[in-house]
Amino acid sequence: MSGAGQTTGRPGCWVSPAPEGEGEEEEVGGGGSRGRVCSPSEQTPAMASLGLLLLLLLLAPRPLWPSSLPPPDTPEGKATIAGFILSALERATSFLQERLPEVNLDGVVGFRVLEGQLQGVQEKWAWDPLLQPLNLRVRKLAARLAPLLHRSIFYLRLSDPEYLREFQPTIQPGFWKLPQAWTRTNASMVYPTFQPEDSFSEEYSDLCLVQLLGTGADDRQPCRLSDFCRTLMTRPGCSGYCLSHQLLFFLLARMKGCMEGLFRQTQLYMNLFCANMMDLNQRAEAIGYAYSTQDIFMENIMLCGIAGFSDFYKLRWLEVILAWQKPREGCFGTPDAEDEELLRAVEHQQHFLTRVKRREKQFTDGCSSHNTAMAVAALGGFLYALAEYPPGNGQLGRSMPAPPNGH
């Protein structure tokens, strides 16, 4: 799971001033300017190009959230929001059904996460007569997904058998568990500066994930941790996919039940990583959700939502994700636009994805397997948060103790 570039330049400087976050949840994730503006001599050509894109985005008028979604603190508002989410998920499932032989493993992971979220929603809504029409849609969607996910393993075995062997646990039913408790991010844990995204290596990250899962060709013992992987997965200052893969590492450790050594500090590292992922999402919001930030924006919501951070489920963030879906195809990917600057940004992003995401599947119509996977898992998280607790303060989850049923 990897993909979009960040606005960082050399360590300690930015292509443009780090924007301050906005909105009623500002105190949750921090914000404000950090570091300094890169001088012209420090900027690479790619940085200059990205800086121009960000400047254009900052000058362009953009809507301010909270959004046009109805308040979720009434049964009617809750049902309306849930209906929007379910419609998007139904269209995305149709995309999966039509492209199943071509969807890669990362794409299947997103829908497997969604399957667990739908099961959690069904359990929450089972005894509420007012929600039975929606719960029926959830059951039907889950019934559509199950055979598709089962069949996907056949196609993955044909297209990339080694990658399937290494990461097959992540697409097994029941692997992804819902949060046992809700918490919120702590802005005081945000790094003063971020490292450049170019320092991220998906190959090294995958080696550590395979070692953790115990699915390597020579080592089948899970929860193993080399000194190299300990250093890589706890390195401070990461941003973008380097940061999200650090969180993914500890999430997989939790799903596998790893409890010894470094993994005794799993929650501490999750707190640290999600605080910084919140900060980066707020930066993406401040520049108008540039296309180059959308994939990592949704990945951050997906992963930190699974980790139990309720403040990622903001209504205004839900609305922008819903707006990114291609209505005809049902997928998520490159935007339909004739704007020349935006198209250049799309081309730059696709080049970056090819370099960083070795197994990214980009379809000719602009659909992205990875974007779609991150979107459906993020949307499934929004739906579960909506079902889990009464909403408040413009977001769908609250900091509350573990639910009685253990989800």
Is 367:99 a contact under the CB 8 Å cutoff?
yes
- Would residue 339 count as lying in a domain? yes
What is the domain extent for residue 132?
Answer: 72-388
- Would residue 50 count as lying in a domain? no
- Residue 112: which residues within 8 A CB-CB, separation 6 or more? 149, 170, 171, 172, 173, 175, 176
- Would residue 136 count as lying in a domain? yes
End-to-end CA distance of the chain: 25
Number of domains observed in the structure of the chain: 1
pLDDT attached to residue 47: 44
Distance CA 103, CA 370 (A): 9
pLDDT attached to residue 251: 99
Backbone dihedral region for residue 390 (phi beyond 0: left; psi -120 to 50: alpha; all else: beta): beta
pLDDT attached to residue 9: 37
Chunked mean pLDDT (size 10), the chain, 407 residues: 39 39 35 40 45 40 56 85 97 98 96 98 91 95 98 96 96 95 96 81 93 88 94 95 97 97 98 98 96 95 98 96 96 74 57 50 85 98 87 47 36
**Kind plus residue range of the DSSP H or E element containing 266:** helix 266-286
pLDDT attached to residue 372: 97
- Would residue 350 count as lying in a domain? yes
- Would residue 34 count as lying in a domain? no
- Would residue 10 count as lying in a domain? no
- Would residue 158 count as lying in a domain? yes
pLDDT attached to residue 233: 97
- Would residue 29 count as lying in a domain? no
